[in-house]
RNA sequence: GGUCCCAUCGUCUAGUGGUUUAGGACGCCGGCCUCUCACGCCGGUAACACGGGUUCGAAUCCCGUUGGGAUCACCA
């Protein structure tokens, strides 16, 4: 069996959005699972709309997702000579011809076709004129009018098209740039692509591309069209559906693992399994389990998956992902093992890294800032004795293990006659400034003796100041 | 409008003719756990679009209807 070669060919006219990312992921996964190759190609023949920023954004998104490529990136704009050569082949073999019809005329014909309820088609004015190359001439493919073309799709099954539906489409613009359907075919041929996994919106292009392969005498790739991803209103994904670019999710505090997991499950399944890491996916991914019906992007589920991945990730990993979010808040991180420990207390209660960063602030601040209501409610005179007893007890402790702390608190409970809950809240506020936080014992252990004693003493000072 | 595609809980999906009172997950609603908030655990809610066939038997196969979507550029 020949090596599987897949590709991802984004056009750099905007950011990489989640739908495109899923297509890239499927191709990448398939190549990886089959020990094949994955090619990245930038389709920038539309000079007016392609930008360098978009190219960079796509690289950045792919890099964040951990989708790497074996060949490329190839830029279509740098392959113009190759397209020219293939155009010439097609013209020489009489499979293509020059056409000088004006865009206005073409448009009129198209409109009248639609008005008559027909498929809009080029009327063939120049088809047999044997025109020579000229400045304003485009090159059209001479398409068969009769017969049928079957697209053998490994996901959707066979799809039959009447060739009469296909017109003499343009393969080269008057400015010499190749058109999409043609460039794709030439690239896929010359890059050895044998497996084309792409969005459902490309099925109608496929018969045209097949015709090109035939005219060029080349072997067809295997096609697989993956169902679309829609927004909540069942229309094409766009900005009005909320965040759609991959990097937006990065910025909102999502783990790439979570997006990958979510995206792969949109249209692909493995029994009842829900949680996947990349290595599992490479082992388990297959085309036969890609569904055929479109799906809707559900950010709620992505969120919950993100929470799952935050819980499951090794603490060192979480710390690395978390760091930039803290830096964004002007907190400099020097001690990664401290950050890992912090993450360990927060990973069960954070749905995003952004949330986790918020929750982590109290660990990193040199001075606790009290939430007004929290301080008013819990840092009152009646908490004074209890906090100072606790300081005494904690000072005697060698290490802050769970058991040690429990004993210390028990003594404070005995001395004050208070229940644990009554002690915990003031301590929590003293240590974190808030009424909501990870468990008291966890916090104390992670903060360490020095910080804990200092913060408790500061709380005493605060209470004093309110006398 | 032509062509093509799709149709299981609100959403993602399992299911490939009988093992199904249709399973899991998210969400939602209860409860338990508990030092706060979470996590976790337990329970509940909710679907085979409709109509015809085929078959002893259909969510599963066929046809039609309805609904949704994609596509028809000198965009990709």
The pLDDT score that the predictor gives to residue A241 is 75
Q: Which residue is nearest to nucleotide B12 (CA to C1')?
A: A266
Strand partners, A83: none
- Closest nucleotide to A76: CA versus each C1': B76
The pLDDT score that the predictor gives to residue A321 is 98
Backbone torsions φ then ψ of A278, nearest 5 degrees: -55, -40
Spatial distance from the CA of A200 to the C1' of B70 (Å): 7
Domain boundaries, chain A: 5-76+229-306, 79-226, 313-364, 366-467
Spatial distance from the CA of A107 to the C1' of B73 (Å): 9
The pLDDT score that the predictor gives to residue A402 is 82
The pLDDT score that the predictor gives to residue A382 is 86
Given a cut of 50, the residues of chain A with pLDDT beneath it are none
Backbone torsions φ then ψ of A9, nearest 5 degrees: -120, 75
Which superfamily, per CATH, for A79-226? HUPs (3.40.50.620)
Opening angle at CA A267, ends A314 and A310, nearest 5: 15
- Closest nucleotide to A157: CA versus each C1': B5
Q: Do domains A79-226 and A313-364 have the same CATH topology?
A: no
Spatial distance from the CA of A422 to the C1' of B44 (Å): 35
**Per-chain mean pLDDT for chain A:** 93
The pLDDT score that the predictor gives to residue A1 is 65
- Closest nucleotide to A45: CA versus each C1': B76
Does residue A306 contact residue A254 with C-beta atoms inside 8 Å?
yes
Q: Which tokens in the block code for residue A148?
A: 């049928």
The pLDDT score that the predictor gives to residue A447 is 94
Nucleotides of B under 7 A from a protein CB: 1-8, 10-16, 23-27, 35-40, 68-76
Q: Which residue is nearest to nucleotide B74 (CA to C1')?
A: A173
The pLDDT score that the predictor gives to residue A252 is 96
CATH 1.10.10.350 fits A366-467, yes or no: yes
Spatial distance from the CA of A307 to the C1' of B32 (Å): 23
CATH 1.10.8.70 fits A313-364, yes or no: yes
CATH code assigned to A5-76+229-306: 3.40.50.620
Q: Which residues of A are catalytic?
A: 239
Spatial distance from the CA of A154 to the C1' of B57 (Å): 31
This prediction's pTM? 0.94
* Radius of gyration of chain A measured on its C-alpha atoms: 31
- Closest nucleotide to A159: CA versus each C1': B4
């Amino acid at each position: 069996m020949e090596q599987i070669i897949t590709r991802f060919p984004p056009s750099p006219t905007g950011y990489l959005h989640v739908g495109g990312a899923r297509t890239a992921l499927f191709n990448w996964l398939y190549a990886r699972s089959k020990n094949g190759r994955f090619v990245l190609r930038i389709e920038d023949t539309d000079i007016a709309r392609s930008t360098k920023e978009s190219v960079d954004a796509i690289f950045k998104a792919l890099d964040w997702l951990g989708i790497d490529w074996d060949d490329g990136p190839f830029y279509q704009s740098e392959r113009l000579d190759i397209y020219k050569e293939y155009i010439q082949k097609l013209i020489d073999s009489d499979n293509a011809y020059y056409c000088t019809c004006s865009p206005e005329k073409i448009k009129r014909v198209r409109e009248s076709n639609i008005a008559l309820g027909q498929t809009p088609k080029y009327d063939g004015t120049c088809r047999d004129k044997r025109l020579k190359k000229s400045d304003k001439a485009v090159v059209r493919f001479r398409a068969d009018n009769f017969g049928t073309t079957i697209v053998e799709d490994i996901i959707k099954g066979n799809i039959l098209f009447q060739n009469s539906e296909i017109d003499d489409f343009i393969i080269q613009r008057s400015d010499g740039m190749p058109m999409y359907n043609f460039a794709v075919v030439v690239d896929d041929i010359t890059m050895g692509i044998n497996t084309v996994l792409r969005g459902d919106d490309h099925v109608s292009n496929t018969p045209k591309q097949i015709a090109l392969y035939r005219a060029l005498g080349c072997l067809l790739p295997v096609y697989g069209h993956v169902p679309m991803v829609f927004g909540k209103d069942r229309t094409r994904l766009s900005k009005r559906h909320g965040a759609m670019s991959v990097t937006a999710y990065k910025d909102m505090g999502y783990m790439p693992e979570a997006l990958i997991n979510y995206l792969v499950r949109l249209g692909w399944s493995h029994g009842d399994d829900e949680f996947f890491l990349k290595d599992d996916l490479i082992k388990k991914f297959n085309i036969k389990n890609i569904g055929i019906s479109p799906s809707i992007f559900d950010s709620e589920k992505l969120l919950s998956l993100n929470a799952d991945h935050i819980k499951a990730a090794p603490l060192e990993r979480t710390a690395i992902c978390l760091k930039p979010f803290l830096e964004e808040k002007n907190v400099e991180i020097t001690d990664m093992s401290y950050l890992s420990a912090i993450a360990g207390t927060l990973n069960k209660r954070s749905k995003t890294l952004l949330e986790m960063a918020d929750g982590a602030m109290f660990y990193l601040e040199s001075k606790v800032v009290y939430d007004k209501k929290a301080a008013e409610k819990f840092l009152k005179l009646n908490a004074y004795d209890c906090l100072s007893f606790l300081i005494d007890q904690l000072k005697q402790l060698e290490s802050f293990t769970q058991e040690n702390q429990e004993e210390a608190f028990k003594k404070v409970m005995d001395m004050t006659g208070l229940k644990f809950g009554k002690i915990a809240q003031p301590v929590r506020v003293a240590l974190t400034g808030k009424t909501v936080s990870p468990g008291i014992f966890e916090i104390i252990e992670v903060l360490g003796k020095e910080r804990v004693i200092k913060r408790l003493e500061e709380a005493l000072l605060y209470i004093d100041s309110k006398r």
